[in-house]
Amino acid sequence: MADPLSKLGSERDWRAIGTATGLGCSTVSSLMLCILGGLFLDRWLGTAPIFTLVGVGLGIAAAGYLLYELAMISRSDKGLIRVRKRDAIERSAKTEPNEEEP
């Protein structure tokens, strides 16, 4: 009898879906926060499109940074994978007995 969960996709597929969803939500929320902050400042200070345009620029920069971080996560020499490898090496060095100690 086949496993009913196998029809839902592999673990890799679900990780990709989770990453894409997280990236989409982060991008939209950063854009909205920056643009709405610019609109608020424009209304409060009476400066028509200045802070809204600054908010758009900051939102696009934040979205670009999020895309950059996503690209770096998948690289083995940079990003989270490198940090995880370094942490694993440090942990293994701490757990190995030191030959110099009596």
pLDDT higher than 90, residue 36: yes
Of 67, 70, 32, 39, nearest to 53 (Cα)? Answer: 39
pLDDT of residue 1 exceeding 60, the answer is no
Confidence check: pLDDT of 98 > 70: no
Torsion angle defined by CA atoms of residues 80, 84, 87 and 93, in that order, rounded to the nearest 10 degrees: -150
What DSSP string runs through 14-81?
HHHHHHHHHHHHHHHHHHHHHHHHHHHHHHHHT-SSHHHHHHHHHHHHHHHHHHHHHHHHT-SSSHHH
Query: CB–CB of 44/34 below 8 Å?
Result: no
Please give the model's pTM, rounded to 2 decimal places. Answer: 0.61
pLDDT band at 15 (very low <50, low <70, confident <90, very high): confident
